Amino acid sequence: MFQKNTTLGEFIIDKQKHFKYTTGELSRLINSIRLAAKVVNHEVNKAGLVDILGNASDINIQGERQQKLDVYANNIFMQTMTNRQIVCGVASEEEDDFVSIHSKNGGDNNKYVVLIDPLDGSSNIDVNVSVGTIFSIYHRVTPVGTPVQLEDFLQKGTKQVAAGYIIYGTSTMLVYTTGHGVNGFTLSPAIGTFYLSHPDMKFPETGSIYSINEGYYSHFPQGVKDYLKYCQEDTEDRPYSARYIGSLVSDFHRNMIKGGIYIYPTSSKAPKGKLRLLYECNPIAFLTEQANGLATDGYKRILEIEPTELHQRVPFFCGSKSMVDKVHSYMNQYPDDENY
Q: Kindly state the DSSP code that residue 336 receives in the 8-state scheme.
A: G
Q: Would you say 31 is a known binding-site residue?
A: no
Q: Would you say 122 is a known binding-site residue?
A: yes
User: How far is Cα 280 from Cα 188, in angstroms, rounded to an integer?
Assistant: 26
Q: Would you say 117 is a known binding-site residue?
A: yes
| Phi, psi for residue 219 in degrees, rounded to 5 | -100, -5
Q: Would you say 217 is a known binding-site residue?
A: no
Q: Would you say 93 is a known binding-site residue?
A: yes
| DSSP bridge pairs for 276 | 313
Q: Would you say 228 is a known binding-site residue?
A: no
Q: Would you say 10 is a known binding-site residue?
A: no
Q: Would you say 121 is a known binding-site residue?
A: yes
Q: Would you say 280 is a known binding-site residue?
A: yes
Question: Three-state DSSP class for 274?
Answer: coil
User: How far is Cα 334 from Cα 336, in angstroms, rounded to an integer?
Assistant: 5
Radius of gyration, CA atoms only, the chain: 20
| Phi, psi for residue 75 in degrees, rounded to 5 | -65, -40
Q: Would you say 123 is a known binding-site residue?
A: yes
User: How far is Cα 54 from Cα 43, in angstroms, rounded to an integer?
Assistant: 14
Helix (H) or strand (E) segment spanning residue 69 = helix 68-84
- Give binding residues as ranges: 93, 117, 119-123, 213, 244, 274, 280
Which residues participate in the annotated binding site for Mg(2+)? 93, 117, 119-120, 280
Binding residues for substrate: 120-123, 213, 244, 274
